[in-house]
Every structure is written in structure tokens, then in C-alpha cells.
Structure 1
Amino acid sequence: MENYQLDKYAQDGQDPKVLDKVLGKILDMLTADEEVNYVAIQKKPAVNLLPDSITVSNKRIFLGEFTKLGLATNFEIFSWQDIKDIAFKEEIFGSKVTVIPYTGENLTIDYIPKTQARKLYQLIKAALDNLQAQKQVKADPKMGIENKPKFDSYIPQDQTKDLPTTSLEAPIAINKQVESNTDPIGASFNNPSAFSPQTPTSVPTQSEPKAMQALDHTIIEDDELTMKLKKLKSLYDKQLITQAEYESKKAEILSKL
């Protein structure tokens, strides 16, 4: 076993020599896509040349016991489906870790360093919780999609042709009609008969010519005065006359109204 591989599993004070022996046997028993996640080594207060161990992979848990002066090792191996629960109890000298299978007796290894025991508990609990969640999803597939967005209101595009549609053409046509009816200039050019009721055009009688001529004369005078005012304003804007001249001439023109 290479040193750098030992360092990966000896971060919590595991004995490198014992770790080397345990991993040397465990690695030979791994299946396809299986890898070791953690190894906890027993550490008794007295000298212990043959410590027990607990190894956790991503598929199984191995409880190892050295026998025959370290020449042999007995392993109790459980897949995660065989494990019901994991428990540990912290004592003065380390912790007591107990694996509880669904069938058979509970298996306990004591004197596991407290740091290693806590790490074991976390890893095993996480694996068991994950397995339980997978079982629940298999038993009730709906649980796996409880957060899936709902599309109950979705209507396939090819079915929308049968649905009632709200046409915008009618409101637009009404608006256009309103606009044309409220614009007498546009109505007079586009549709001279748009006004209803129509008012007959009055024809001047023989008694009206003088009045009409007076009105026309007033309009002509107003137009001439307006043109003079505009021309005067244009001269002032171009600074061709002073403001005093502009005001004087303006007053003179307005006096003729």
C-alpha cells in the first residue's frame, strides 16, 4: 500500500501499520464501482497488537477482527440493505459503536476513538437515510416528482383552434368609426354624407347680398391684418426692427380692428 493512499485514510489518528493491513485485505474484496470511504481502528488503553476495525465503503460495511496473532482476519460484512441502524456511545476511553442488522445479533466494537466514532456515525447514518429515501421513491413514485412543476393549464397548440377566440378587430373597427365621426374634416373629405341628419345648405336670397358682402369684407380685412401682424413679427424675430418699433407698429395695426 502506497504511503499517499494511507494518508488519505489516516487523517483522524489511525495507526498506519494496522491501517495498511486492513486496507490490504479490504481492497481485495471490493466489487465493481465500490470504494472505501472511511476506516476506523480500535485503540485500547493497553497495548493492543490486534485491534478491531470498522470499514465503510459506498456499498457495504466491514467489521474486522484480527485472529491468530494477526495472521488471519475475520470479517462480518453487511450491505446497506441489511443494516437497520447504527448507534454509538461515548465512554471515558473512546466510544462503543454498535451495528444493528435486520436479522441476527447486534455487533459492537469498543474503544473506537471518539473522533473516528462520530465520523462513522455520520457516514453510516447518511447512507441509511439515502437508502430509505430511495425505497420510498420506489414505493411511491409520486414522491420523486413532488417538486415537479404542474402544467395542468397547458393546452397543446394543435387544440387551440377549437377554443373560442376574442377578436380585437371589433373594438378597433369601433374606435376607427368613432374617430371618423368625431372628425368633421375627415368626414367631409372621405364621406360627405357621414353627418346625420344632413343640414340643407342655405342659399342666399336676393335680400341677403349686402349682408354677405359685409361679412366677406370683414373676413378679408381680418386676413390682411393677420398677415401684417405675422410679417411684423417676422421682421422683429429677424432683428430687422427694434422692440419699440415692433410694439408701436403692432398697436397701430390692432387699432384698426
Structure 2
Amino acid sequence: MYIEQYLNEEQDPKIVEKLLGKLKDMLTSGEVITYIAVQKKPAVTLLPDCIVITSKRVILCESAKLGLTTNFEIFTWQEVKEVAFKEEFFGAKFTIIPQNGENLTVEYIPKIQARKLYQLASEALEKKMEEQRLRELEFKKATTPPVMLKSTADLPNIEPPLKPTEEPVLKASVPVPEPEDELTLKLKKLKTLFEKQLITQAEYEQKKNDILSQF
């Protein structure tokens, strides 16, 4: 297993190589190690603790029995509530807060490694929450009964409202004037000429008698 990809922030190559030899037999199918942080105390650190981030878990590795054995505290991302870190004068404290149980803290993690741990762990937790949200959404869709539309036969028989009866409107009959005969028209014209003083009284009487004689 290549170790160069895990030595970006001045991790101890010997510690990383030794730890990878133990972790390679612990990884599940499809699981990939993404980061390894190595404890560095102010004095010489002979047996440093380590924190390992994988695609599925976070692993705390504590040396025991003068480095002959290693104690592992393993949490899947579903078991982690959140992570936190606090920078101090010498390095930083990195804390894992599980869903159940006590918090676990590793001190003297180099500050740059603690920041990287926090970044990767936060991304893994966000991904877990999104996957959980999608699963809950799919479950809700699968368990929600479909809405059945009622057929028209099941609907109550509601007759359309009756339109108000329109009463017939009686229209007043307009009398059609009868056409005037020729004699009447001549008499009206003659009178008009007299009223406009275009003919004399005598001429009017004479013409009127002539017209009436034709009746």
C-alpha cells in the first residue's frame, strides 16, 4: 500500500506505514482510507495516537503495551453525531461526539492535520445526512397510499341550476303610415307655396279649386 498520499502534512512515515499494515485487514469492501492524522507531542513522541478517516468510518488508534498492540475505537458515520477541534499552543484537540456514549478526544494533533480532519469528517457527516434524508423520502413515497380519483358514477347527482324563465317582452306596435295620394300631396305643396308668399290668395284659391275638382 502506497503511503506517500498520507504524508501531505508531515506525518511520521514509519508510524503511517505501521498503521496501514494493520488497517488493510480491517477495511470492508469498497472502503477507502482518505486521511491519517498522527499525534505529535511537544517532546519526543515514541508511541503517538492516530485518527483515521475512511469513506465509511472514523477510527481512533491508541498505542498500548509499549507499541506492541493498538487499541481501536471505531465509529461508522451513522454513529457519529458531530466532530469538533480546538487549537491550543501545542497542536489541537480533536473530539468525536458519538450519538451514544462519551466523547473521545485526542490531544496534540498538529493544527493543520486537525483542520483537515474536521473538513473531511464534516463532509462525510453531511453526505450521511443527505443519504438518510433521501432514504426517508423514498420510504415516505413507498408507504403513502396513492390518491384515488372518484369516478363520475360516485359523485352525487347534482342537476344544473335552472335558468330563470324569461318573460316575453311585448313590443309596442308602431303604426305604419299610409302613403298619401297624389291630390293630398298637391294640396300640401300648394299650401306651402302660399305660406311662403310665393303665390297670392287668389291664386291659391283658384289652384285649390282646380285640384279639388279632380277628386
**TM-score, normalised with respect to structure 1:** 0.53
Name the residue aligned to 1:14. Answer: 11
Give the number of the structure with larger relative contact order, counting CA–CA contacts within 8 Å between residues 6 or more apart. Answer: 2
Name the residue aligned to 1:48. Answer: 45
1:31 to 28, 31, 47: 28
Name the residue aligned to 2:115. Answer: 118
CA shift in 2, pair 1:16/1:105, >3 Å: same
| 1-structure distance, mates of 2:59, 2:88 | 23
Which has the greater radius of gyration?
A: 2
CA shift in 2, pair 1:32/1:142, >3 Å: closer
| 1-structure distance, mates of 2:27, 2:92 | 27
> What are the Cα deviations for residues 97-137 of structure 1, in whole angstroms up to 9, with x where unaligned?
00000111100001000111011000000010111111112
1:100 to 97, 100, 119: 97
| 2-structure distance, mates of 1:110, 1:78 | 18
Which consecutive segments of 4 or more residues in structure 1 shift more than 3 A? none
Q: Which amino acid aligns with 1:28?
A: D
* Count of aligned residue pairs for this structure pair: 141
2:67 to 57, 61, 70: 70
Q: Which amino acid aligns with 1:64?
A: C
Q: Which amino acid aligns with 2:67?
A: G
| 2-structure distance, mates of 1:136, 1:16 | 40
> What are the Cα deviations for residues 137-165 of structure 1, in whole angstroms up to 9, with x where unaligned?
2222499xxxxxxxxxxxxxxxxxxxxxx
Once the two structures are superposed, the pairs formed by residues 1-257 of structure 1 within 5 Å of their partners are 5-141=2-138
Structure 1, unaligned stretches of length 5 or more?
Answer: 144-257
Q: Which amino acid aligns with 1:112?
A: I
Pick the structure with more helix per residue.
Answer: 1
Structure 2, unaligned stretches of length 5 or more?
Answer: 141-215
> What are the Cα deviations for residues 185-209 of structure 1, in whole angstroms up to 9, with x where unaligned?
xxxxxxxxxxxxxxxxxxxxxxxxx
| 2-structure distance, mates of 1:31, 1:142 | 27
* Percent identity (aligned): 54
Q: Root-mean-square deviation (CA), in Å?
A: 1.7
Q: Report SS of the residue matched to 1:40.
A: strand
Q: Report SS of the residue matched to 2:24.
A: helix
Distance apart, 1:9 and its partner CA: 0.4
